[in-house]
Amino acid sequence: MGGSTHGLGGRDTRRRAAVLAALLLSGLSTAAGIRFGVYSANYADASGYVAAARSWATGDLVRPAPLQLWASWPHAAETGAPLGFRPGPILGTNVPLYPAGLSWLMAAAERVGGDYGPFVIAPALGGVLVFVTFLLGRRAGGSAAGLIGAALVATSPIVLLHTVQPMSDVPATACWACAWYLGLRRGVGAALAAGAIVALAVAIRPNLAPLAIVPLALILTGGELRVRRIRYWLGAAAFVAAAACGPMLVAWTQLALYGSPFHFGYPGAESFFDAANVPANARNYWNMWVDVYGLAPLLGLAARLLPAQRGGGCQPVSRAVVVSAWVIVALNIGLYLAFIPYDHWPFLRFLLPASVAVFVLFGTALASLASLMWSTPRTRIGVLLLALAVAATAVRRPDLARYSLQEWRAHQVIPAMGKYLAETLPRNAVVLSFAHSGAIAHYSGADVVRLDIIEPATLDRIVEDLQKGGLEPVLVLDGFLERPRFADRFADSKWRRLDWPARAVATSVSDITYWVVSDRTRHLSGERWPLDHLRPGS
């Protein structure tokens, strides 16, 4: 009797140790996201989400865009909407472009934490994702399985990159992982919570809504994928009632912002999916996966073929977790196979829910194999260490993880220049820019004209029209990528040479330069002025 009690105590101790280890991984993931976070409303996605969060926090969802009321150049309304925004249904307005769910979370964080609040959401939910992966793996094949899966998520370059960036991929994936886990638990309360989290996930990333099939099926079958009694229908009803709030909120925001519940924020969104993209995406996703993770984690798809033996503290592999993981992988890939093809490794972010499912299965397979081969506690510890080493080698590109944690260095110049412009721009300034239009509008509040949308032959006309309207056109360009692009795109313009002194340059890993267009005439007449050097982080 004493031996049995001792054995139970040992298992409880190991279980608590595993939970503490998972919490440590989760905390380290969040801490890394905060320490190496990109505190910058940069480029399209990040600037769009952060700027929209400010709009939701202040209630100013519709932004005035007076240029639309009188500008006569082609596509004037579209050129005057910064990245992350689009022309509103009423002429002379701009409205947020992206789904509102992440911006709601960021807006709440901004009300509590000020300007830095929105940038904590992705790191916090990155930590949640790591810990919930542990819970899923533990449910699938024991604590060892959970720790391996959590370690893979915590060290994934894709997860790291989108934990430090204020983007929607990690928050959406964390929500789906939570809903998946809650679907495995019994009770109406868990079902209701799963539905509420699905509603948030849909508001963050609406196109992943079909993943709701997984927690619903688990709730209907009592988390065991078996036909159950009628009492499980009550949980399913609670889940559906809560989850339905997600599509309803999406429809409401689309009606409020775009004039119809059936209008998407992305102009031309109906053209994003095409069956002709399937072969390219199948090839791209495979190549990106192999490049980042290698083939080892895919062995987890055979987890069900390696059932752990009972006894010795081992846990049988959960059929419900394995089958639901397969379904998540199939659904997630299927939802993006027809999408616009991308072949650069960060776009593996589209398959983050599937990646988490694969990591759970991989940890389960390794832990199951270990329990089949060894039975004593001492040898299982050795096998666990070996399994963790194998899991670590599955991440074939540690250089990508290092890159992800250094992203903040390249983005320091964006808020530095944005805040400089907020203090120094003429009140009547209109900023002409490429990829920084969203950041400039967010930090400085200035009107913008997007150089990536205007027709090349119209640049001189736009500058002339702005000047005739009493406005001061200025140029803000990235030195490495955009200055050559500016010269090539506007080859027939007298402004293409940028042959007059700039007013300021922000320099870090890259640089951003600011010119006042009318300074060219002043320079040719002999006037001179100092160049302001901004060196963020120095």
Is the CB of residue 170 less than 8 Å from the CB of residue 42? no
* Helical H segments across 66-187, by residue range: 67-70, 76-79, 101-113, 121-141, 143-155, 157-164, 169-184
Q: What is the pLDDT of residue 310?
A: 43
Is 488 inside a domain boundary?
yes
Same domain, 453 and 391: no
Last residue of a domain, one of 351, 381, 407: 407
Mean of the pLDDT values across residues 86-98? Answer: 94
Count CA atoms closer than 13 A to 124's CA, side-chain side. 9
Dump the DSSP string for 456-520: GGGHHHHHHHHHHTT-EEEEEEETTTHHHHHHHHTTTSTTTT--S--SEEEESSSEEEEEETTHH
Give the rounded distance of the alpha carbon of 201 from its chain centre: 12
Q: What is the mean pLDDT of the chain?
A: 90
Last residue of a domain, one of 407, 442, 467: 407
Residue 344 binned pLDDT confidence (cut-offs 50, 70, 90): very high
Is 537 inside a domain boundary?
yes
Residues 35 and 443: their CA atoms lie apart, in Å, by 22
Residue span of the structural domain in which 424 resides: 412-538
Looking at the predicted structure, is the pLDDT value of residue 513 above 70?
yes
Same domain, 401 and 454: no
Q: What is the pLDDT of residue 312?
A: 42
Is 362 inside a domain boundary?
yes
Same domain, 493 and 515: yes
Is 100 inside a domain boundary?
no
Is 24 inside a domain boundary?
yes
Residues 447 and 429: their CA atoms lie apart, in Å, by 7
Same domain, 35 and 13: yes
Same domain, 361 and 504: no
Tally of helices (H runs) and strands (E runs) in the chain: 24, 9
Same domain, 351 and 497: no
- DSSP structural state of residue 317: P
Dump the DSSP string for 372-414: HH--SHHHHHHHHHHHHHHHHHH---HHHHHHHHTHHHHHTHH
Same domain, 379 and 521: no
Residue % of the chain over a pLDDT of 70: 89
Same domain, 328 and 215: yes
**Nearest to 49, CA basis, from 273, 175, 203:** 203
Q: Give, to the nearest 10 degrees, the angle between helix 169-184 and helix 188-204.
A: 160
Q: What is the pLDDT of residue 502?
A: 96
Q: What is the pLDDT of residue 306?
A: 58
Q: How many domains does the chain have?
A: 2
476-490 tens-digit pLDDT: 999 888 999 999 999
Same domain, 456 and 501: yes
Q: What is the pLDDT of residue 313?
A: 45
Residue corresponding to tokens 């050795």: 382
Residues 177 and 208: their CA atoms lie apart, in Å, by 13
Is 112 inside a domain boundary?
no
Is the CB of residue 46 less than 8 Å from the CB of residue 166? yes
Same domain, 29 and 155: yes
Sign of CA dihedral 337, 339, 341, 346: negative
Residues 247 and 253: their CA atoms lie apart, in Å, by 10
Last residue of a domain, one of 359, 386, 407: 407
Looking at the predicted structure, is the pLDDT value of residue 191 above 50?
yes
CA angle 266, 272, 278 (to 5 degrees): 160
Is 309 inside a domain boundary?
yes
pTM > 0.85 = yes
300 or 359: which leads in pLDDT: 359
Looking at the predicted structure, is the pLDDT value of residue 393 above 80?
no
Same domain, 292 and 430: no
Same domain, 309 and 432: no
Is the CB of residue 303 less than 8 Å from the CB of residue 320? no
Is 107 inside a domain boundary?
no
Strands 63-64 and 93-96: antiparallel
